[in-house]
Amino acid sequence: MSFGTAIASGFRHYSNFTGTASRSEFWWFQLFLVLVSIGVGAIEDGLNVVWAVATVVPYLAIGVRRLRDAGFSWRLLFLGLIPVLGTITMVVLWLQPSKAHLDSA
């Protein structure tokens, strides 16, 4: 999936917590969120808060879909609430290959 397609898909399915999201879709969307956050933060800190609030649901939705695609339960998303270790754990889980590809191989 390309960068633009991933962004469009991420916002088109902003509240869809069912289904799956490929690694490329997930990571391109995450890159977009980070880049815009940096850009908006450079302009005005208050806008950065608005951006974070506006994108929290799409972020959670694509995170849940990515976990599901990798064969994990959406409940593992709560591990991300643990400082440092939770973030590392989530990155490792999100990096796992798609389970659908493993089943068909």
Q: What are phi and psi of 11, to 5 degrees?
A: -80, -30
Question: Tokens at residue 39, please?
Answer: 């850009």
What is the distance between the alpha carbons of residues 63 and 27, in angstroms, rounded to a whole number?
Answer: 10
All structural domains of the chain with their residue ranges: 3-104
Q: Could you report the per-residue pLDDT of 76-96, keeping only the tens digit for each? A: 999 999 999 999 999 999 999
What is the distance between the alpha carbons of residues 55 and 57, in angstroms, rounded to a whole number?
Answer: 6
Q: Could you report the per-residue pLDDT of 29-69, keeping only the tens digit for each? A: 999 999 999 999 899 888 999 999 999 999 999 999 999 99
- 74, with CB counted inside 10 A (0-12, 13-18, 19+), is middle
